[in-house]
Amino acid sequence: MSHNNKIKLYTFPPSLYASIPRLLIAEKNIQGVEYVTVDLSKAENFAPDYLKVNPNHTVPALEFTDERGSKSIEDDSIEVCKQLDKMSGEPQLYTSQNASSIDSYVKDMHDNADVGNPLFFTSRDESELAKKKDMIVPFLQGRVQGFETYSKQAPEHKQLYDSFLQSTNGMIAQYQGKADAKPMFETNAQMWSKAVRFLDKTEELLKQSKGDFIFGDYSLADVHLTAWLYRQNLVRGEENFQGRPTVKAYYERVSARPSFKATWP
């Protein structure tokens, strides 16, 4: 990578999607990346200054110098990884040979199995709610404080902040027993069924694979899948692997890679 290619990655270590480029950076040993932490537990992704970087208020966001020498920002995690792969030389994990397979698989993951946060923050029943409450409620309360602060600082974004305040306070009320938690349990069940469909699809693809990875050789699809499975494993543990021995063996392989340990120490 050339020295004039300054790279800044806006990230939050516990975030599912922000961990995907971090895993790629570790996998390809990309040097000279400046990390900027955007603390989601304080709603810093909604800070007025961050909205200038990424109006979609998501992490990751990648700030880099393009081929023409001008500063660019990419705020879609799929495109962030393609950009990092392209800039970092061999081995290319996204090539003309594997691009269409990777694109359709990763798109399905992000569009139809985007279960990371909804599964993590919701609960399936009263007992899970009781277990998660002490972890989830302070995180959400920190976000509420952030929304209230930013609303004063940047009244032009008040509508955005108000909508997130309302949904976040609603979830706090469910965890505190001040609102009916049944809708949350239903959401959790829907998210789990999406995860199951994607896990079953992944099991079949891995069985058909001519190598150790989803499309044979290690590719960008594996970078996305590893992070997705890491989050799923946090949320549902062994349930993910029941009746899916190939996914289980795959996860054991990828979690033994040095890049995995560098991303989730």
What's the pLDDT tens digit per position in 203-232?
A: 999 999 999 999 999 999 999 999 999 999
Is residue 4 scored above 60 in pLDDT? Answer: no
- Read off the DSSP letter of residue 92: P
* Percent share of the chain, pLDDT over 90: 95
Domain 96-117+194-265, CATH 3.40.50.300 — does that match?
no
**98 CB contacts (<8 Å, ≥6 apart)?**
215, 217, 219, 221
Say which residue the tokens 């960008």 belong to.
Answer: 220
- Round to whole Å and give the CA distance between 197 and 5: 40
Could you give the 3-state DSSP secondary structure of residue 264? Answer: coil
pLDDT in tens, 61-79: 999 987 788 899 999 999 9
pLDDT in tens, 77-112: 999 999 999 999 999 999 999 999 999 999 999 999
Q: Taking the model in full, what pTM does it have?
A: 0.95
Tokens representing 173 are: 């009320």
CATH fold for the domain made of 7-92? Glutaredoxin (3.40.30)
